[in-house]
Structure 1
Amino acid sequence: MDLTGLAIKQALKGNFEEAVKTNLEILQKEPQSVDSLNRLAQAYFHLGQIGKSLKAYRKVIQLDRFNPIAKRNLEKIKNSSHGLAGRWPKKRSFPTPLSSLNFVEEPGKTKLIALVCLGDVQALAELSVGQPLQFVTRGKVMICLYNEFKKYIGRLPDDLSRRLIWLMDRGNDYQAYVKSVGKNRVLVFLKEIKQAKINRNYPSFPSFQLKDKQITP
């Protein structure tokens, strides 16, 4: 496996200290590698080393002033209450623009679900907890999720997709946020933000297991 593939794999596994070492090794050979700098900045961010994360992202901007990943994450760090702290405690959890209150489950209105048919490892490695994802429907049976840069992340299971598409066609609306990212696994938090009156007797996320013919009444 080449060093780039190794760095991405380490990030997906949550081995951020090793990811830092690997990306630094790449940068010794390719000091202007924007992708490696972005991965390095993200690894520092997860380790709580915010000063180093900011420095790496700023170097990306020097090389590519319109780089969307660096611009987005610089803004996120600056807007967080810890943005200029320089270092966070060494733990996996970290502040995000999404309030932790939004992860409180409400029966019938929220659901944690693992995506299927995941996108490429680079797109997954760039995800962060609390990041919003965009719903894109494909016909009547598929909901795909994309990040704000139109990179495919994964899709919802078919049975859930069919139900939500049916409810959205009748006026419901939803939001999706990244809850956690691991090796070959992306867990998202789905939240009903609007329920049409016509759907008031149809919970978005029933607590009971639906049979296939019950997915859409």
Structure 2
Amino acid sequence: MASLKAQAIQTTLTGNWQNAVTLNQKLLKEDPYDIEALNRLAFAFTILGKTKNAKTVYQKVLRIDSKNPIALKNLKRIDGIVKNPKAFAYNLKDISTLFIEEGGKTKVIELINLADSKVIALLRIGESLTLNTKRLKIFVLDQKKRYVGMLPDDIARRLIRFLKGGNIYEAYLKSIDDRKVSIFIKETRRSARFKNQPSFMPLGKGKISFAVEEPQDSSLPAGGSEES
């Protein structure tokens, strides 16, 4: 049987947040100063909407390590949630099944030209996003129709062709990590004319990332290239 720590990490990767709380609390009974377990517990509380609990746990992390970057950045994020709780009243899909990769049908894409950090701070992993096409650009909007960022130009041009031909896609926030925002795009319907044409190059099996950090400010347009 996997160790308690391995189980705790796995529940985070699969998005089983209630179980993540239980397992990390068990770890903390064994070692109350386990910073990794504390950060995992606080993040699980945040996803479950228990911001007061999350803040208390992050503050404990900072009493142990006053410069812990994860706790510092996520406390700022929680402050944004507390100030604007309605912005987080979303029905998020089960993350344990949301980010399943399918060859040629899904892709994780790093956005360019990010919105102001105040907008990014209101996003939640698993949140449904809108792809808004204008000319040769694809803009990404949140559930409140606020601008989040853009797809790199080469990916946008390819998807616009498929969109015009009848393909349908869904997009979700996958990660906010190291001042980067990545989204997960999934082809949900393929037009008959593109029967043998994949939307994306086939992907290998990947891991789910739940790191959450404060992104840098940015403004609108410009170009970009597809990430490797």
> Is TM > 0.5 for Structure 1 vs Structure 2?
yes
Report what 1:71 is aligned to: 86
Residue 191 of structure 2 is aligned to residue 196 of structure 1: yes
Deviations 1:85-136 (A, max 9, x none): xxxxxxxxxxx43442120100000001111111110011111100011111
Which residue is 2:173 aligned to?
178
Quote the residue 1:100 is aligned against. 96
Q: Which runs of 5+ in 2 are unaligned?
A: 1-41, 55-78, 204-228
- Amino acid aligned to 1:168: L
Q: CA deviation at 1:44?
A: 9.7
Confirm whether residue 134 of structure 1 aligns to residue 130 of structure 2: yes
- 1:46 equivalent to 2:46? Answer yes
Q: Tell me the distance in 2 between the aligned counterparts of 1:177 and 1:186.
A: 11
Q: TM-score, normalised by structure 1?
A: 0.55
Deviating beyond 4 angstroms after TM superposition, the runs of 4 or more aligned structure 1 residues are 42-45, 56-60
Q: TM-score, normalised by structure 2?
A: 0.53
Distance (Å, rounded) in 2 between the aligned partners of 1:58 and 1:49: 9
Deviation per CA, 1:148-191: give whole Å up to 9, x if none. Answer: 11211111111110010000100001011001112320011000
CA RMSD of superposed structures (Å): 3.2
CA contact (8 A) 2:130 2:143 kept: yes
- Aligned residues, how many? 138
Partner of 2:112: 116
Query: Residues 111 and 186 of structure 1: is their aligned pair in 2 closer, same or farther, counting only changes over 3 Å?
Result: same
Query: Which ranges in structure 1 are unaligned for 5 or more consecutive residues?
Result: 1-41, 61-68, 77-95, 209-217
1:135-174 equivalences under 5 Å are: 135-139=131-135, 141-174=136-169
1:81 maps to none
Mapped partners of 2:81, 2:198: distance in 1: 46
- 1:191 counterpart SS class: strand
Instruction: For residue 48 of structure 1, report the CA deviation from its aligned partner.
Output: 6.8
1:180 alignment partner, SS class: strand
Give the Cα–Cα distance (whole angstroms) in 2 for the partners of residues 193 and 158 of structure 1. 22
- The answer to which structure, 1 or 2, has the higher relative contact order (CA under 8 A, 6+ apart) is 2
